[in-house]
Amino acid sequence: MSSSAYCREEGKDKMIFTTEEELSKPSTALIDIDTYETDEKGPVLDNGEINFHCTCAGTMFSGPCNIEIREFLTCSNKDKSPEKCMEQFEAMFNCELDYPEIYDIKDKLEGVDDKASKTVKELDPETKES
């Protein structure tokens, strides 16, 4: 094995191999900000819709619950009131519970008591107590 970085291309893929020593050094790559172009618009587009292609969301829109997440965010962004999106929220939340290794929801629920479920019931007009 070589002790310096090298590149290998296989079809459309380009693989870059390097050493731990080379990776431990600060990068010397320079980016000319004036010529660097991006179509990144941020999390919300000019028309007010959610930008599902925004890199700011990381992998949130590409995981197994991406449809449920998109539907909830679209609803809550459109209506601007969480109580109108309880069905979408519940679908998203239940989906995330099915994939704890990805969404880490169950760990976040430790120590949550009935206060949280009471809050959800208060937001959901169908479950409000009279």
The predicted-structure confidence for 40-51, as pLDDT tens digits, reads as follows 677 888 888 888
**33 lies in a domain?**
no
Length of the chain measured in residues: 130
In the prediction, which pLDDT does 91 show? 93
Number of structural domains found in the chain: 1
**70 lies in a domain?**
yes
In the prediction, which pLDDT does 1 show? 44
Q: Which domain holds residue 92?
A: 55-127
Q: Where are the alpha helices (DSSP H) in 1-130?
A: 20-23, 66-79, 86-98, 100-103, 105-109, 114-123
**90 lies in a domain?**
yes
> What band does 2 get if pLDDT is binned at 50, 70 and 90?
very low
Three-state DSSP at 13 gives strand
Mean pLDDT, residues 93-109 taken together: 79
Mean pLDDT, the chain, integer:
75
**42 lies in a domain?**
no
Strands 6-10 and 13-17, how do they pair? antiparallel
**37 lies in a domain?**
no
**86 lies in a domain?**
yes
Distance from C-alpha of 96 to C-alpha of 89, rounded to nearest angstrom: 11
For the entire predicted model, the pTM comes to 0.51
> What band does 121 get if pLDDT is binned at 50, 70 and 90?
low
Give the CA distances from residue 80 to residues 30, 36, 49, 55, 87, in Å, rounded to whole numbers and listed in that order: 42, 35, 12, 23, 15
**5 lies in a domain?**
no
